[in-house]
């Protein structure tokens, strides 16, 4: 049951203060609090509000001409989540720039998930992805989108990976950051050791990998490790774990990490039966 819609006529109204200067807030990196943009992400927030991962919607802000189009989504939020409606001028005043997106929500994720506990909770057959130092929010969002498509049970972030709840990562993920469980560990090596201890076969993806991705040995528990686009995975990691490559024409820049993750996950998921239905 959704809350009644609250009309806001001033950008200075304290009820929408949390939405002010969204773009600058992004830069401050507030772990755990996030901005959900657009209908697709709002729908995912409604679906996962109050769920196991601890996401909660705090407040919703809509451009007046967008209300009718999202009524079914609003109905899925409990009535303690306020819904504010504004004109374009007030929206622009709140955002601090011309905001062409008319569907926004603020959310929180409390508490952060503990990596060891998340690994412990995984089923016997599970596919995990490790985002090792992924610093580009588009790439992070794409990795989550692919993880959702290919039955990934857990995304592991090392200590240097960027925040998947950042506005752009969340949008690029089409909201999958809210549906695919994830947790942050320490260094890449520590994350991988923890997975390996729990029976995961760890495979680093690298243009210099030794096995072709279509031929890697499938285990009941598989972990695919993705490095940054420029640097790739560090030698110390490539030397300690098994590695896979994606065949491609020689002499080119390697594939985009989003595309590479899609190809590798498709291979592992279809060969290992990690996709539902």
In the complex, the residues that contact a copy of itself under the rule CB under 8 A are 40, 142, 145-146, 148-151, 174, 176, 214, 246-250, 252-253, 255-256, 258-263, 266, 269-270, 275-277
As a whole number of angstroms, the longest Cα–Cα distance in the chain is: 61
CA 62 to chain centroid, in Å, comes to 23
Please, which residue, 39 or 87, has the CB nearer to a copy of itself? 39
Q: Closest Cα to residue 206, out of 182, 172, 240?
A: 240
List phi, psi (to 5°) of 158.
Answer: -80, 180
- Rounded to 5°, the CA angle 42-135-267 comes to 75
- Whichever of 67 and 266 has its CB closer to a copy of itself, that residue is 266
Instruction: Indicate the residue among 196 and 254 with the shorter CB distance to a copy of itself.
Output: 254
Residue-wise over 157-196: b if at least 16 C-beta within 10 A, else e? bbeebbbbbbbbbbbbbbbbbbbbbbbbbebbbebbbbbe
Question: 14 or 277, CB closer to a copy of itself?
Answer: 277
- 137-149 and 257-272 are packed helices; what angle lies between their axes, rounded to 10 degrees? 20
Q: How far is the CB of 74 from a copy of itself (least distance, A)?
A: 20
Closest CB 29 distance from a copy of itself, rounded Å:
21
Determine the Cα–Cα distance for residues 99 and 13; give it in Å rounded to an integer: 18
Query: CB 189 → a copy of itself: shortest distance, Å?
Result: 28
Contact call for residues 202 and 243 (beta carbons, < 8 A): no
Nearer to a copy of itself, 34 or 150 (CB): 150
Least Å distance between CB 7 and a copy of itself?
A: 31
Whether cis (ω within 30° of 0) applies to the bond prior to 111 is yes
Q: Closest distance between a copy of itself and the C-beta of residue 105, in Å? A: 18
Q: In this complex, which beta carbon is closest to a copy of itself, that of residue 157 or of residue 260?
A: 260
Q: How far is the CB of 180 from a copy of itself (least distance, A)?
A: 10
């Amino acid at each position: 049951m959704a809350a009644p819609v609250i009309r806001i006529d001033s950008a200075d109204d304290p009820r929408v203060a949390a939405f002010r200067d969204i773009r600058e807030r992004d830069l401050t990196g507030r772990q755990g609090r996030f901005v959900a943009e657009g209908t697709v992400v709002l729908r995912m927030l409604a679906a996962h509000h109050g769920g196991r991962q601890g996401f909660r919607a705090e407040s919703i802000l809509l451009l007046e001409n967008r209300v009718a189009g999202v009524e079914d989504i609003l109905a899925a939020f409990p009535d303690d989540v306020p819904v504010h409606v504004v004109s374009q001028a007030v929206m622009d005043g709140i955002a601090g720039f011309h905001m062409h997106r008319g569907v926004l929500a603020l959310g929180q994720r409390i508490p952060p998930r503990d990596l060891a506990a998340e690994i412990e909770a995984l089923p016997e057959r599970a596919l995990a992805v490790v985002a090792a130092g992924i610093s580009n929010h588009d790439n992070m969002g794409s990795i989550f989108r692919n993880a959702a498509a290919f039955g990934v049970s857990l995304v592991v972030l090392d200590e240097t990976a960027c925040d998947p709840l950042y506005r752009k990562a969340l949008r690029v993920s089409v909201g999958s950051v809210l549906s695919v469980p994830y947790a942050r560990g320490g260094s890449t090596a520590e994350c991988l050791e923890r997975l390996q201890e729990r029976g995961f076969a760890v495979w680093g993806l690298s243009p210099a990998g030794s096995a072709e991705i279509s031929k890697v040995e499938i285990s009941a528990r598989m972990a695919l490790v993705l490095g940054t686009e420029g640097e790739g995975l560090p030698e110390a990691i490539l030397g300690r774990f098994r590695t896979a490559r994606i065949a491609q024409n020689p002499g080119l820049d390697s594939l985009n990490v989003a595309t590479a993750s899609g190809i590798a996950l498709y291979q592992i998921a279809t060969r290992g039966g990690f996709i539902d239905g």
